[in-house]
Structure formats: structure tokens, C-alpha cells
Amino acid sequence: MMTIRQIVNSVYSSCSYVLTQDKQSWLVDCGDVDQILPLVEGKLQGVLLTHAHFDHIYGLNNLVSLFPGLTVYTIMAGFNGLLSDKLNFSRYYGDPFIFDSPDSVKLVRDGECISLFEGVEIKAVATPGHSPGCVTWVTEDAIFTGDSYIPGVKTVANLPHSDKELALKSEALIRDMVENRSIYPGHAASNEI
């Protein structure tokens, strides 16, 4: 049985999630590494990114230095954000962040499935709009929506590179996919980015 634990990060209350089963772990988005580490069980297999805005990725350099060989999964537009403090907005918030291990990124296609644990697969669904690199990650019981859909919060689609129409389409797609799944969004109570 997969366990999912939420971390509310210090930057903009973005959320990271540690997924564990059978003494193995995966991470969804990477904020405060000091909060993440105590929840990691056994080997950290990889990081799934919902998108590459800085509040969802700023811990990655630190994390990769602690877990050499770690793989980070995103789509092409997310990859671009990892490598540009302009695209990931960090340069405008006084703490420029550029991911320094581009070789550890594995690009996924829309609809691609990744095997997380014995009997647990997760599907990457491109949900652009909030950012061009948004991915919603879907398992049989859980859906990690990042900032593409946060229940009770209007999806932010007025940022540079946002697309309002696409954001609405993606939100509708996500609502269709929720069904009986638990929703794990990209921000806790207060949503800023």
C-alpha cells in the first residue's frame, strides 16, 4: 500500500509529497529538503515535477547532491523552466535558481506511465495553462494536480507564459480525471503561485 505524506514548504506554502512503499520513496515537487529528508524511506527513486515554477523546484540542487543519480521527471517545457531563472521566475524573487544537473532529467510524454512501486503506476498528463510545463500525475487512487487545479482556488493563469484558455481546458480535464481519487494540489491553504 502506497503512503502519501504532504509537506508544506516555506516558500509560498507550495506542497511536496513523499510517496513510500516497501522501503522505497518517490517525491512530487521539491521545496524544503530538510522537511523532505525525514520522510524518505529507503532509496529515493525519483522526483516527479508538476511544473517548474521556482516554488516547486528550489530544493532540487540540494536534493541531487544528497542523492546522486536521482532522476527528475518532467516534460519539455518544464525542462526549459528548470534551466532558466527567468522562466521559473526565481530571478524576480531575489533568489535565482537554475537546476545544475540537466543530465538527470528524464523527459516524459503526455500519457506516459512510470512504474513507481510493485503494482503502482503513475501517468503523466500534460495540463498546460498555469504554466506551459504543467503535468498532472495520476495513479489509481491519487491525483497530483500541482497548480493546474487547486480545489476552491481559482487557477492562476495571468502569469507570464500562462494561457487562460488552456488553463480552463486543463482544469476541465482534471475534473474529469478525479473520479474517486484523492486530490493532492500544489499549494496548501493560501495559494500564491
Q: How far is CA 72 from CA 13, 28, 176, 190, in A?
A: 21, 10, 27, 27
Told to check if 53 binds Zn ion by CB under 5 A, we report yes
Least CB distance to Zn ion at residue 89 (A): 8
Q: Which range of residues in 53-61, 78-86, 94-102, 110-118 is near Zn ion by CB under 5 A?
A: 53-61
Closer residue to Zn ion, CB minimum distance, 147 or 171: 147
Least CB distance to Zn ion at residue 175 (A): 19
| Binds Zn ion by CB under 5 A, chosen from 29, 85, 147, 171 | 147
Structural contact between residues 4 and 15, judged by C-beta atoms closer than 8 angstroms: no
With H, G, I as helix, E, B as strand and everything else as coil, classify residue 120: strand
The two beta strands, 142-146 and 182-185, are: parallel
Other residues' Cβ atoms within 10 Å of the Cβ of residue 110: 12
Told to check if 49 binds Zn ion by CB under 5 A, we report no
Told to check if 187 binds Zn ion by CB under 5 A, we report no
Binding site for Zn ion (CB under 5 A): 53, 147, 193
